[in-house]
Amino acid sequence: MNKIDASSLPQIKLKTNLDRRFKKGHPWVFSNELEEIPKYEKGEMVSLYFNSGKLAAIGYYNPVSLISFRELVRSDLLKDDFIEERMANALKYRNGLYKEEGEARRVVYGESDRLPGLIVDFYGKTLIAQILTAGMERFRNRIIEAIDTIFKPETIILKNDSPSRILEGLEREVVIVKGSSFVSEALFLGTKYAFDIEKAQKTGLFLDQRENISLLDKFEFKGKRVLDLFSYFGSWGLRSLQLGVKEAHFVDSSNYALQIAFETAKRCGFNNFLTIEENVFDYLSRIIPEGEKYDFVFSDPPAFAKSSKHIKEAFRAYVRLNERCLRVLKRGGILIASSCSHHISYELFFDSLKESAENCGKRILLLFSGRQSLDHPILLNFPESSYLKTFFLRVE
């Protein structure tokens, strides 16, 4: 077994007074935490040293990114086949979670699976990968080969269109590296979806809500009206239709997303639903004066805070959004409100919901709060791996 030796790699060094976070287990080093920014190549593998001269880790380096170093191992040796080994271990964990054949799942989740800058989602016969960093881009061919060997899919697509690639000095692209079609079929929570990866957001389905959506099974939906906001492909509303809801409304600003929701609901045999192409804030503002009410409202918006400088603005947006959601709920109704903004903490999102309740003068019970699904594990020393918050609230 060949191994990469730290002594054979270019070196970078941490500043003495800025190494505490890395010592506590965080896998990144920012540019301001290094003694200097050498002009090594983007994505080049390097050895990281403490200012004392002691080896800290092996990882990859990018002189043009704010995140200068991403850890691969805290040792002087790195197995040459680390990509293949770690991908196989990640898959083994997911296969232990989801026994249903063909069920969609995230099989690689970046730093949590010790493959920083790599996301891989399994959609049965199709594998979707996102290479987000210059370091992982250097392993592009090995990643593709590992996916092909381990999963043996009919289709492999690289959905490399994330804005984070620009920050890494990389071009954005969406390419088929095996197979011939961007159209993918996926089984998620027992429902079959068919969609075009090029037109879809991120890697296609929002798999991170799996366990939260499954909790809908605990509620009584027969005879109820449901509003699915920022519905995308409609996973929340579709689940409620399967549970016997009287009527479901899907609201999204994306015509394509609503098309997929419509086609999926029809394929499942449902006719008791509407798709509404409209800005969610505008829709709520329009129906509140009309007195329209629902028994359940699902709100899963895109990230309002793309960076820390947007936190205050995002907080106000969550307050406005969920206040309006509460106003269209019947007495005894349920609001399921989510935030996928990493920069909005659990506590801050909870505070925004309390303010929403105060503004509309309603007494609200918190029934449950959830995080991202089990195939998106959170690395405790890496808060960036934790982003999704979902609260189940009841209006009294």
CB neighbour burial string for 304-316, b if at least 16 within 10 angstroms, e if fewer: bbeeeebbeebbe
User: Which residue has tokens 């697509």?
Assistant: 157
The CA distance from 317 to 304, in Å, is: 7
The CA distance from 1 to 192, in Å, is: 42
CB neighbour burial string for 137-175, b if at least 16 within 10 angstroms, e if fewer: bbbeebbbebbeebbebebbbbbbebeebebbebeeeee
Contact 281, 320 (CB under 8 A): yes
Widest CA span in the chain: 71
Non-local (6+) Cβ contacts of 123 within 8 A are 104, 184, 185, 186, 204, 205
Using DSSP, state whether 374 is helix, strand or coil. coil
Least Cα distance to 337 among 392, 394, 279 occurs for: 392
Active site residue 340: yes
Contact 352, 315 (CB under 8 A): yes
For residue 208, how far is the Cα from the chain centroid? 6
Tally the C-alpha atoms within 13 A of residue 263's C-alpha that lie toward its C-beta: 14
The CA distance from 394 to 326, in Å, is: 9
Return the bridge partners of 131, or none: 118
Contact 337, 325 (CB under 8 A): yes
Using DSSP, state whether 237 is helix, strand or coil. helix
The CA distance from 333 to 324, in Å, is: 14
Using DSSP, state whether 217 is helix, strand or coil. helix
User: Which is catalytic among the residues 268, 325, 340, 360?
Assistant: 340
Give the catalytic positions in this structure.
Answer: 340
